[in-house]
Structure 1
């Protein structure tokens, strides 16, 4: 007999009772931080060239889909804030460690390599944080609303639909945040559009894995949250 979790209201959930939620949040934050650290390196896959961030960062949206689909918008909201503050701390500490003088004998080429990894400009930190924060909340909101509208059917439409919305906002904010007033608007739009298209295709290709994780978690956790009556403000804790 196929397991069918009982649909329940998001506000009735206590996240602490779930077996896998906290571990997944930790993994989500680690993936987010690593994607920021390795983002500078370009990688060639066949004729296509991607940055490390383009390869890893979309995984955070998959996590966001899983959090919202299984545990509800409130659970996703908590994960987004944790990821936001973790990224803020990493960026701030990275700049501080680059700023303080190195010890005597520290080779200049080592210092340069350290700066390449950690000396993200303040503008880049602000643009990345803003894009992440807004994009993830848009993704989670659309995911939660579509689940109610579709009555829990057609998960693929929600994972792809939420990514289409969230990544559009993310790509525009980070592209204009990084390159406004330094590159022509047309060039920025092409860059944003190229990255956006790649991220949406990435998410679509990962749909089978998302189905597997979502169905497995619903069975193990015994929960299937529908965000009916949820306060969707990013600043409210249910």
Structure 2
């Protein structure tokens, strides 16, 4: 007799938070190249989403560690659906004929500049995040089984090192190749990758506390033994 699907207290909230972070970091911050002058490092160029996008990887680590690869996969596809709708909406809004007044004469070129490249950003985000996030989740799930649930810090940081390498490189090459100067593009890729990896390591204590809380609250600690790791499936 088939058992009904198990319900969780916080899974849906984490999914909603993940989708929010994914949309905002890709559509608000990713298109801007920012610069800061730092001691020792000098002038550093980076994408303006740098401080926010890594949060999505923390969600991915928490989801895989607590709920398993299958439920993390469903959350990723939910994010992709939201990005697709955002891209469609941006396309429609940009191409609708503007009202004939002085405000819209100034505003229309601005909205085209901000959202006109949305299709490349979304395409880059989807392809990069599909590869990077599933690699991240796969590595973490396999390491959890191999270590029998020990060394959470190694799983979190190790999966991020691999996943962010794939994600960061693919996203910026797809979204901004031919738009930004090559030297600036490479500088952004390197700085983004290093910062995201370091940021994940710095945030590990918070990640560990979130994992411990959810395992207690949900009464679950999933191990992906015998899991189908096909990224295109939505089965749990």
TM-score, normalised to structure 2's length? 0.86
Q: Superposition pairs for residues 70-89 of structure 1, below 5 Å?
A: 70-89=66-85
Matched with 1:210 is: 207
Q: 2:92 aligns with which of 90, 96, 115?
A: 96
Runs of 4+ in 1 over 4 A off after TM superposition: 41-46, 179-190
The Cα offsets for residues 14-63 of structure 1, whole Å up to 9 and x where unpaired, read as 35x10000011001001111112321345566625543321111110000
Q: Sort the Cα spacing of 1:21 and 1:197 in 2 relative to 1 into closer, same or farther, 3 A.
A: same
8 Å contact kept, 1:69–1:214: yes
- Name which of structure 1's ranges 146-155 and 126-135 shifts more when overlaid on structure 2: 126-135
Name the CA distance, whole Å, in 2 between partners of 1:53 and 1:136: 17
8 Å contact kept, 1:31–1:56: yes
The Cα offsets for residues 191-231 of structure 1, whole Å up to 9 and x where unpaired, read as 32221111101111110110111100001001000000000
Q: How many residues align?
A: 226
Q: Which runs of 5+ in 1 are unaligned?
A: 1-11
Q: Which runs of 5+ in 2 are unaligned?
A: 39-43
Name the CA distance, whole Å, in 2 between partners of 1:201 and 1:71: 25
The Cα offsets for residues 153-200 of structure 1, whole Å up to 9 and x where unpaired, read as 111111101100110001121132234467787765443222111110
Q: CA RMSD in A?
A: 2.4
Secondary structure at the residue paired with 2:50? helix
Shift in Å at residue 119 of structure 1?
Answer: 2.0
Shift in Å at residue 135 of structure 1?
Answer: 0.8
- Name which of structure 1's ranges 69-78 and 182-191 shifts more when overlaid on structure 2: 182-191
8 Å contact kept, 1:159–1:207: yes
Secondary structure at the residue paired with 1:224? coil
The answer to whether residue 68 in structure 2 is matched with residue 63 in structure 1 is no
The Cα offsets for residues 65-86 of structure 1, whole Å up to 9 and x where unpaired, read as 0000000001100000000111
Shift in Å at residue 126 of structure 1?
Answer: 1.4
TM-score, normalised to structure 1's length? 0.86
